[in-house]
C-alpha cells in the first residue's frame, strides 16, 4: 500500500513538473511571437514613413530646383530684374526653401523677393512677365 502511495505521489509530481515545463514553453513561445510581431510592425511603419518623407522631399526638391532655374534665368535678363513676387501656398514650403537656401543667393544678387502666403493666382500686369505657376507657388516678375 505504501509503495502504491509513493508511486501515485511520484506520478503526480512528475505530471506537475511536465505541466510546469509545458507552461514555461508556452509562455516563452507567446513572448517570442509578440516580440517578433512588434518588431515587424515597427519596421513596416518605419519603412512607410521613410518612403513618404522621401517622396515629399523629392517633390520639394524638384519644385525648388525649377524655381532656382527660373530665378537664375531672370538674373541674366537685366530688364526683368527689378522685383519678384513669390506667392507661396502655406508657410511650410516657404520654410523649406529658406532652410535649403535655394533663394538666398538670388536675393543677394539684386532684385527684391517678397513672400505672399496663401495667394490668389496673381493678375498679370502690363509690365510684368507672365506668372509662372509651379504647383505650390507663383512667381511674378516686375521689370
> What average pLDDT does the structure give for the chain?
68
Mean pLDDT of 57-78: 65
Q: pTM for this one? A: 0.46
| pLDDT-based confidence at residue 75 (cuts at 50, 70, 90) | low
**Which is it for the CA torsion 115, 121, 126, 131, positive or negative?**
positive
pLDDT at 78 over 80: no
pLDDT at position 53 is 84
Amino acid at each position: 500500500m505504501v509503495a502504491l502511495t509513493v508511486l501515485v505521489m511520484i506520478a503526480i509530481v512528475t505530471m506537475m513538473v511536465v505541466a510546469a515545463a509545458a507552461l514555461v514553453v508556452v509562455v516563452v513561445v507567446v513572448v517570442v511571437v509578440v516580440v517578433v510581431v512588434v518588431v515587424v510592425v515597427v519596421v513596416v511603419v518605419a519603412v512607410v514613413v521613410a518612403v513618404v518623407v522621401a517622396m515629399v522631399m523629392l517633390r520639394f526638391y524638384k519644385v525648388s530646383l525649377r524655381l532656382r532655374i527660373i530665378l537664375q534665368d531672370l538674373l541674366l535678363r537685366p530688364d526683368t530684374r527689378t522685383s519678384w513676387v513669390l506667392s507661396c501656398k502655406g508657410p511650410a514650403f516657404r520654410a523649406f526653401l529658406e532652410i535649403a537656401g535655394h533663394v538666398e543667393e538670388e536675393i543677394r544678387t539684386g532684385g527684391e523677393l517678397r513672400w505672399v502666403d496663401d495667394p490668389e493666382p496673381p493678375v498679370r500686369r502690363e509690365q510684368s512677365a507672365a506668372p509662372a505657376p509651379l504647383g505650390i507657388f507663383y512667381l511674378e516678375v516686375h521689370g
